[in-house]
Every structure is written in structure tokens, then in C-alpha cells.
Structure 1
Amino acid sequence: MIRLFKVKEKQQEVVDNAKEKGPVKKQSAGELRVQRDIAELNLPNSISIAFPSGQDDLMNFEVTIEPDEGYYKGGRFLFTFEVTPVYPHEAPKVKCETKVYHPNIDLEGNICLNILREDWKPVLNISTVIYGLYYLFTQPNYEDPLNHEAADVLRDNPETFESNVKRAIAGDQWIGSTYFPKPDF
């Protein structure tokens, strides 16, 4: 015989325990997708991820890229990611927090990367964006610039471009009319 009274007691116990722990926050589809994307990340040593607001806020995080080849080798670049609840139907908002001399990143930190704009598709993920950012440092593109001055120098005089990048990375330097502060890391 089923002890109906015992079943009801057990159900009440589950309800009481849930009340003690507070309301359970339901995660959006975007939060679940970000959680999966982050769990599946397999980043090289030159890329790291941090959660300044703690592990409870996976929708806002930072990625640091330290290129180990190319013009930007030896630099350290911080990006902030803000992921909306409608992710993956909308690309994350990404901003470069490090002032950088780069044809595809302007001095305000806006990034010219097609997958963050018109070429975003829901099948793309956080890893795709991170590797896209890394690619910008190994293969800067003067054909689709945000920083036209840097793009012109890269196109017309790669040696001067390389020198400017090294000076900007070292910091405490003026390149044209722009001051690049010393890195704070």
C-alpha cells in the first residue's frame, strides 16, 4: 500500500527547503548557452578569461590576449564582453579596454571584426569571437579600418607600423597626436 501521507510530507519538505534557500533564479536561454560556451573553451596560454563580478555573472567577463607572434608580440590587451540575454541570436558586445595602435581597433576600443557585426550567426560562439580577436593581432587588416592612420601606415610602410606598435605597447609614448600610456599590468 502506498503511504500517501508520507509522499505529501516529502513534497512539503522539498517546498520548505526551497523557501529556505530563496527563490531559484531561472536562467535564460542566452545564459545557458554562455555557460556551455565557457565550459567548452579550450584557450591557449596566450589567452585568459576572468569574471570580475564572480562566477555568478557569466554574461559579463574579460578576456586578455597576449599575442606570441606578429607585430603585437609582447603586448597585453584586455577586452570586455557583455552578452545579452538574447545571445546567441545577437553577438556579444566586445570592447578593447587597452589603448592600442591597430588598424581594426579605434582609440575608443571599438573593434572592426565582421563576426561582431553583419556576419554574426547563432551558430557562432564565444570561442569564435575570442579567436577572431586573436587573429586581428596576428593579421591586422588595413583594408577594413577603424583607425585609418594606422591602416595607412601598415599599407604604405610596414616597418614604421611595426615601430609604432612596439612604441605603443611599451607605453609612455606619443604616436602622432595620440598618447599611449604605460601598461598597468
Structure 2
Amino acid sequence: MIGLFKVKEKQREQAQNASRGGGASVKKQSAGELRLHKDISELNLPSSCTISFPNGKDDLMNFEVSIKPDDGYYHNGTFVFTFQVSPVYPHEAPKVKCKTKVYHPNIDLEGNVCLNILREDWKPVLNINTVIYGLFHLFTEPNSEDPLNHDAAQVLRDNPKLFETNVRRAMTGGYVGQTFFPRCI
């Protein structure tokens, strides 16, 4: 009987310590983290897109997406994007950067991405799946009308054959003008 009382007393002590923050604490998730967890669990990506968590599953707010287009100018290239999601997500769009140096009218040489849903057209009803599809679409249909890389956009508009040659040269690891692009194919 005495052993049972000691066990009960020990359990009560542990519960009190936990409630005071003395035991193992559970981190309270922000609304943004909860929404992101839901978005990630409901992802429905094309087979050419993958998501990874370089900091582990405990850091859902920072992740990478790899896109390997199966069509168009960028066919068979692999392009990696970093996502940084704010605690106020979905009221603020995720910050997306391209880690892969790419010759693209909508992605500059620093990796900034020109995608309307990441800027002025962002709405809280949009989600990570929508952003990934938007990025994927940039590779299947580059947009020369809303460029970040004005040179690439002008070549795409004026000489699509030269644009295709430049994309291939960049993806296989080479120079386009004075800029060197590491191999991504």
C-alpha cells in the first residue's frame, strides 16, 4: 500500500512541475504553423515536384521544394526553391527564393522570383500547393511580360530559338553572356 501512495505522489508532483513549466514543455504552435501543417498534409504535387525539410520536421516554417520540369524549355533541369513562412501565414505570402542559378525571365540571378501570387495577388485562401504550382508553371510557360531578368525576357520575346539555346547552355553548365550558370541538368 505504501508503494502505491509513493507512485501517486510522484505522479502528482510531475503533473504540477509540468504545469509550472518545470517538466517537458510542449511548444504552442502559432496559427500560421497550424495552417501550414494542414497545407503540407494536403499537398497534391505533380510527380516532378518534391518537398524536403533540411532543418528536420520540427521546422515546418522553412523548407525546400525541388521542381524538375518534364516539358518546355527547362525540361529535365532541377530547380530548388527555399520557402520561409511567416508566423502570420496565410495572411502573408511565404518568402520564396530560387537556390539554383537559372537563366529565366521571371527569376533574377539572386534567386528572386516574380510570381504575382507571391506579391500583389496573394490572398489567405491561397496555399503552399498553389505557390508550388505557380512556380512549376513559370518553367512550362515563362512570362516575358512581367520580367525580373529583362535580358532573358527580351530574348524570349524577340528570338525564342536563341532563348532556348541560352537556356540549354545555362542548364548544362556554361556562360550566357558574362554570367556563368552551374549545371542543373
Give me the whole-angstrom Cα distance separating, in 2, the residues matched to 1:21 and 1:130: 40
The yes-or-no answer on 1:84 pairing with 2:91 is: no
Query: Whole-Å Cα distance in 2 between the matches of residues 110 and 130 of structure 1?
Result: 15
Give distance in 2, aligned partners of 1:106 and 1:12: 59
Change in 2 beyond 3 A, CA 1:13/1:40: farther
**Amino acid in the other structure paired with 2:12:** Q
Of all paired residues, the percent bearing the same amino acid is 71
1:59-96 residue CA offsets vs partner (Å, 9 max, x unmatched): 00000000000110010000000001000000000000
- Greater shift, 12-21 or 141-150, is seen at 12-21
Q: CA deviation at 1:181?
A: 1.7
Structure 1 position 14, deviation (Å): 7.2
Secondary structure of the residue aligned to 1:63 is strand
Amino acid at match of 2:164: E
Contact 2:65 2:80 in 1 (8 A): yes
Deviation for aligned residue 1:182? 2.6
2:10 is equivalent to residue 33 of structure 1: no
Which of 164, 167, 170 is equivalent to 1:165? 167
Query: 3-state SS of the aligned residue for 1:81?
Result: strand
Give the aligned partner of residue 12 of structure 2.
12
Give the whole-Å Cα distance in 1 for the aligned partners of 2:84 and 2:160. Answer: 34
Q: Does the C-alpha gap of structure 1 residues 14 and 122 become closer, same or farther in structure 2, counting only changes over 3 Å?
A: farther
Q: Provide the alpha-carbon RMSD of the alignment.
A: 2.1
CA contact (8 A) 2:14 2:23 kept: no
Hey, what does 1:138 align to over in structure 2?
Answer: 140
1:156 partner letter: D
Alpha-carbon separation, structure 2, partners of 1:21 and 1:49: 34
Summarize the alignment of residues 1-185 of structure 1 with structure 2, pairs less than 5 Å apart. 12=12, 15=15, 18=18, 22-171=24-173, 173-183=174-184
What SS is found at the alignment partner of 2:167? helix
- Counterpart of 2:32 in 1: which secondary structure? helix
Gaps of 5+ in 2: 1-7
In 2, the alpha carbon distance for the partners of 1:26 and 1:104 equals 38
CA drift of 1:43 comes to 1.2
Note the residue ranges of structure 1 that are not aligned, 5 or more in a row.
1-7
> Paired residues, what number?
177
Query: Which residue of the partner structure matches residue 4 of structure 1?
Result: none
Report if aligned partners of 2:117, 2:131 keep a CA contact under 8 Å in 1.
yes
Deviation at residue 17 of structure 1 after TM alignment: 8.4
> Quick one: distance in 2 between partners of 1:69 and 1:33?
32
